[in-house]
Amino acid sequence: MTTLQDCRALDAADPLRPLRDLFTLPAGVTYLDGNSLGPLPRATAARVARTIDEEWGEGLIRSWNSAGWFEMPQRIGDRIGQLVGAKAGETVATDTTSVNLYKVLSAALSVAGSGPRVVLSERSNFPTDLYIAESLCRERGFQLVLVEPDAIEARIAEGIAVLMLTHVNYRTGAMHDMARLTALAHAHGALVVWDLAHSAGAVPVDLNGADADFAVGCGYKYLNGGPGAPAFLWVHARHASRFVQPLSGWWGHAEPFEFTPGYRPAEGVTRYLCGTQTVLGMVALDCGLDTLHATDMAALRRKSLALTDLFISLVGQRCASHGLALVTPREHAKRGSQVCLSREEGAYAIVQALIARGVIGDFRAPDILRFGFTPLYLGFEDVWNAVEHLRDVMDTREWQQPQFNRRNAVT
Amino acid sequence: MTTLQDCRALDAADPLRPLRDLFTLPAGVTYLDGNSLGPLPRATAARVARTIDEEWGEGLIRSWNSAGWFEMPQRIGDRIGQLVGAKAGETVATDTTSVNLYKVLSAALSVAGSGPRVVLSERSNFPTDLYIAESLCRERGFQLVLVEPDAIEARIAEGIAVLMLTHVNYRTGAMHDMARLTALAHAHGALVVWDLAHSAGAVPVDLNGADADFAVGCGYKYLNGGPGAPAFLWVHARHASRFVQPLSGWWGHAEPFEFTPGYRPAEGVTRYLCGTQTVLGMVALDCGLDTLHATDMAALRRKSLALTDLFISLVGQRCASHGLALVTPREHAKRGSQVCLSREEGAYAIVQALIARGVIGDFRAPDILRFGFTPLYLGFEDVWNAVEHLRDVMDTREWQQPQFNRRNAVT
């Protein structure tokens, strides 16, 4: 049996422990929802204030040049790219994940030849990805085929145009084998689009190593970029100047300030930009990336697995009789940086009761309790405390109190 | 002849003069580029800091509900809508102008029946609008026809599917008659999309009065929302639930947190949302809107016309020999809130020489000197000073100095 003392010993030996000081975390909160909205880096407020007061207030329009605003999508994109196996110049920070998915999926569909007009995805993929794919498939005369995870490989072999998957599933925390599925899709003549929303900054990703084609991802989860932070988009160098994406705004033009009436796409991934990007959002995202670049993904992954292993083990030891089923794979190679439990009854209310105690995870319909473990700021004692609260909420049936059963929107 | 004393007397009598204190303006700067990037409202820094420290830092994920983040696109959209003749619930603040144009133009094209498959616009429309239209027309089998302003009415009468115009031209400052052109297009069975980038907060607009169909616009110009602020999008109530736009992300879904795999659009303009919006950008935009709601568009228009009349008159009186041609219409009904001059030689360098003197306007290729007049924070003596600097730059040939002739990117 694991004890509180064991957890404290793990914290004492943790080389990443000092990184917690990079964040402002409210007292009394164990934050297990950094996979939905990363917490506030300590440096962000001052950096955004400087951008507002000096760059905008004093510099005004001149700051597009003097403060480097123009280059932010590429510069910050490259900093994200370093976390996911991109080479310099392959990544931009821009727009939202949904809009970026529309761009890259559209580009991928534009080369589908006479083969099967099928986009393959997973039934429990994050819905917005499916909505975007549904729209593009209808528009372009493709069929969106959704299968369970264990049926993906067989369906690829039947012939598809594009495989579109989220690398780490938002509901289950299960992680696909990116290299294997990409190679299989390529072997069958298909292109692959990866959504890294729950991967970037969470698990090691090697887009070039896997020879992927396109990727998108989120800035406000593990990248700690703040609510609604700009998302990102990656295109393999072999494709970057090959396709024109339909959101062909001036920021993707070869010469945006020549103001010519005809569209001529910029070389490379810059053609995936569209309109003017939020500078405040970019600056906050840059501060979020500083927290990840303070260490490396291998060290983060070691600790992430240790934290999720501990959580799984403690729930097994201390909450065994409460009908909580483990949804996330035990196998390390198949696990992201979150652990999901399910319970037939009360999943929503249990999450609410935990939040009221300061243990913030989230609920995902219809029956999932989701806990994100972000090694930058969480320790092993935090995991202990979270499980203790969960045990107590279950033992005392606290979750059955009416105030925890009134539904609210939650992200 | 107008004198400096006349200008000072106009300032002394100006009821909007106190509004200047709503802004932080750098010393020694006359800012005539608020039509490109509005200046910093005095309240923005503290409001954004509170959002960062309290809402994000302390509230974390809970602030989506407790701080009203979820409702921001609609709430802030309605505040913009009040400035442009929208009714409540018809406007959302979201994404960029280019992305929003893609949504509404796509919706408009989706109902074009068996009539002429033509999108009509103006050759000197802001290029990103033309790029987006070019992309959609190619995709959907439409022809994008570009004409000079004086040929628009005749071309409508020949038959088109959609008229897409920017209400106030970015290069010339010329303003279209929205009601007249909309009625003409409707009479010929076409829908109308208006880009209000240089209109919202600049001139009175009455979208419902003109019976327009769709509109988009910019948050970082006259709305003072900060660099890359969220844009906006308006759909007439008769259309709002009639079309599905292709960027069908989860924020436009009827039940985004049910996480169902099939897309079901929300009622009304909410279906024009796509992904998660920048909260910091929204909050700064909200502060920008406070400065406009401190007065009304009729008062702003009166002063705007007085400022641009004065500038035109002073340039005529004091710079007559310098080859500067007036591009902007003298007729009030055809003028936005900016004045553009052209000069065959040196337009770029003259603008740079003025900027070096603290008179910030901007250059628009190939030969335009553009000056925005924003009555919230500009006075009549500012106009006098700007023209004096312009006269001096021309009289002394200062603009011919080499440092003013090196090209930079400028917005």
Please spell the DSSP secondary structure of A274-287, one letter per residue.
Answer: -S---HHHHHHHHH
What is residue B168's three-state secondary structure? strand
Q: Taking CA atoms, what residue in B is nearest to A56?
A: B40
If one counts every other C-beta atom within 10 angstroms of the C-beta of residue A293, the result is 10
Q: Does A139 touch chain B (CB under 8 A)?
A: yes
Closest C-alpha among A162, A94, A91 to residue A133: A162
Q: Tell me the C-alpha to C-alpha distance, in Å, between residue A210 and each of A189, A203, B51, B120.
A: 16, 14, 40, 46
Between CA A320 and CA A324 the distance in angstroms is 7
Give Cα separations from B274 to B29, B99, B256 (angstroms): 39, 10, 11
Identify from A22, A259, A338 which residue to disrupt to test chain B contact, counting B C-beta atoms within 10 A and taking the largest count.
A259
What confidence score (pLDDT) does residue B408 get? 61
Task: Return the pLDDT at A258.
Answer: 86
Question: Alpha-carbon distance B174 to B39, whole Å?
Answer: 23
B226 shares contact with chain A (CB less than 8 Å): yes
Q: Which CATH superfamily is domain B4-42+296-401 in?
A: Aspartate Aminotransferase, domain 1 (3.90.1150.10)
Distance CA A329, CA A339 (A): 9
The pLDDT of B69-83, averaged and rounded, is 98
- Biggest alpha carbon–alpha carbon distance for chain A: 70
- pLDDT tens for each residue of B11-35: 999 999 999 999 999 999 999 999 9
Q: Least CB-CB distance to A409: which of B39, B65, B249? A: B65
What is the average pLDDT value for chain A, to the nearest integer? 96
Q: Which residue of B has its CA nearest to A259?
A: B127
- Cα–Cα nearest to B285, from B203, B201, B207, B208: B201
Q: Which of A78, A129, A195, A367 is catalytic?
A: A195
Equal fold, B4-42+296-401 vs B70-293: no
Model-level pTM? 0.97
> Is the Cβ pair A45, B49 closer than 8 Å?
yes
CATH class belonging to A70-293: alpha beta
What is the C-alpha separation between A117 and A125, in angstroms, rounded?
A: 20
To test the contact with chain B by mutation, choose from A58, A76, A97, A131 the residue with the greatest count of B C-beta atoms within 10 A, namely A131
Q: Count residue pairs from A and B with Cβ separation < 8 A.
A: 290
Decide: B132 and B109 in contact? Cβ < 8 Å: no
Query: Two tokens at B81?
Result: 């809508």
Interface predicted TM-score (ipTM) over 0.90: yes
- For A100-109, give one letter per residue: b (16+ CB within 10 A) or e: bbbbbbbbbb
Q: How far is CA B228 from the centre of its chain?
A: 12
Window B:105-124, CB contacts with A under 8 Å: 123-124
The answer to whether residues A108 and A142 touch, using CB atoms and an 8 Å cutoff, is no
Which residues of chain A make contact with B360, given a CB cutoff of 8 A?
Answer: 60-62
For residues B21 and A73, give the distance between their C-alpha atoms in angstroms, rounded to a whole number: 34
B147 pLDDT above the threshold of 70: yes
CA distance A212 to A210: 5
Nearest to B240 by CA among B196, B282, B207, B217: B207
Largest Cα–Cα distance of chain B, in whole Å?
A: 70
Whether A402 contacts chain B with CB within 8 A = no
**Sign of the four-CA dihedral A55, A61, A64, A69:** positive
Specify whether A87 is catalytic.
Answer: no
The pLDDT value recorded for residue B148 is: 97
Q: Choose among A99, A259, A275: nearest Cβ to B97.
A: A275
Angle subtended at Cα A75 by Cα A69 and Cα A80, rounded to the nearest 5 degrees: 130
**pLDDT under 70 in chain A at which residues?**
408-411
Average pLDDT over residues B180-186: 98
Cβ-based contacts of A98 with chain B (< 8 Å): 247, 249-251, 274-275
Bridge partners (DSSP) of residue A215 are: A194, A234
d(CA A230, CA A227) in angstroms, rounded, equals: 9
Query: Closest partner residue to B127 among A36, A261, A411, by Cβ?
Result: A261
Q: What's the pLDDT band for B112 if we cut at 50, 70, 90?
A: confident
Q: Do A227 and B69 touch (CB under 8 A)?
A: yes
Set B102, B126, B170, B222: catalytic member: B126
User: What is the per-residue pLDDT for B259?
Assistant: 87
Those residues whose C-beta lies under 8 Å from the C-beta of residue A49, and which sit 6 or more positions away, are: B45, B48, B49
Query: Quick check: A33 contacting B, CB < 8 Å?
Result: yes
B-proximal residues of A, 311-330, CB under 8 Å:
none
Catalytic residue list contains B138: no
Q: Which residues in chain A have their CB less than 8 angstroms from residue B35's CB?
A: none
One CATH from 3.90.1150.10, 3.40.50.20, 1.10.287.110, 3.40.50.720 for A4-41+296-404: 3.90.1150.10
Cα dist from A225 to A76, B41, B401, whole Å: 11, 24, 44
Torsional sign, CA A300, A303, A307, A308: positive
Per-domain boundaries in chain A: 4-41+296-404, 70-293
Out of A370, A373, A391, A404, the active site residue is: A370
Q: Please name the amino acid found at residue A162.
A: V
Choose among A279, A304, A330: nearest CA to A383: A304
CA dihedral A25, A26, A27, A30 (to 10 degrees): -70
CB contacts of B123 in chain A (<8 Å) are 261
Residue of B164, B248, B357 to mutate for A, most A C-beta atoms under 10 A: B248
Long-range contacts of A65-68 (CB under 8 A, 24+ apart): A65/B408, A65/B409, A65/B410
Share of chain B above pLDDT 70, in %: 99
Find out whether A375 and A5 touch, Cβ atoms under 8 Å: no
Question: What average pLDDT is seen over chain B?
Answer: 96
Mean pLDDT value of segment B363-386? 96
Active site residue A272: no
- Report how far residue A250's alpha carbon sits from residue A262's, in angstroms, rounded to the nearest whole number: 10
Question: Distance between CA atoms of B226 and B240, rounded to whole angstroms?
Answer: 28
pLDDT digits (tens, 9 = 90+) for A63-102: 999 999 999 999 999 999 999 999 999 999 999 999 999 9
For the question of residue A221 being annotated catalytic, the response is yes
A195 is known as an active-site residue: yes
B305 vs B331: CA distance, rounded Å = 10
* Single-letter code of the amino acid located at A323: G
Q: Is A68 an 8 Å CB contact of chain B?
A: no
DSSP characters over B240-252: HTT---S---GGG
**Out of B56, B70, B256, closest to residue A40 by CB:** B56
Indicate which of A96, A170, A370 best probes the interface with B, i.e. most B CBs within 10 Å of its own CB: A96
A29: contact with B, CB 8 A cutoff:
yes
Q: How many CB atoms are closer than 10 A to CB B297? A: 20
Q: What is the pLDDT of residue B411?
A: 42
Note which residues in 196-225 of chain A have CB less than 8 A from chain B. 220
Q: CA A353, CA B228: separation in Å to the nearest integer?
A: 39
d(CA A156, CA A187) in angstroms, rounded, equals 9
The reported pLDDT for the residue numbered A408 is 61
